[in-house]
Amino acid sequence: MDVGLAYSYKDALVLLTKIDFLKDWTIGYSYDWSIAQLSKYNGGSHEIMIGYTFKERKKTEQVKAKFE
């Protein structure tokens, strides 16, 4: 589990978290607090992220044909 905090200059403050599960899957959540002048009209926003990590393919061995 990862937790983070981010700041966008004069725009937003962000709290985020991420959890890895089922070996290759990740799910995350973040909440953005608006600190700009628009914060009167926007309390913030929620974001949900889902990710999958693809495995690296094994390099196949190249076979050179010999012609006689």
DSSP state of 53: P
H/E element holding 25? strand 25-34
The answer on pLDDT for 19 being more than 70 is yes
Average predicted confidence (pLDDT) for the chain? 86
pLDDT, residue 43, reads: 78
**Helix, coil or strand: residue 37:** helix
pLDDT, residue 29, reads: 97
- CA 34/CA 25 separation, integer angstroms: 30
pLDDT, residue 23, reads: 86
Q: Which residue has the tokens 């050179």?
A: 64
Average pLDDT over residues 41-65: 82
The answer on pLDDT for 63 being more than 70 is no
Residues 51, 26: contact at Cβ < 8 Å? yes
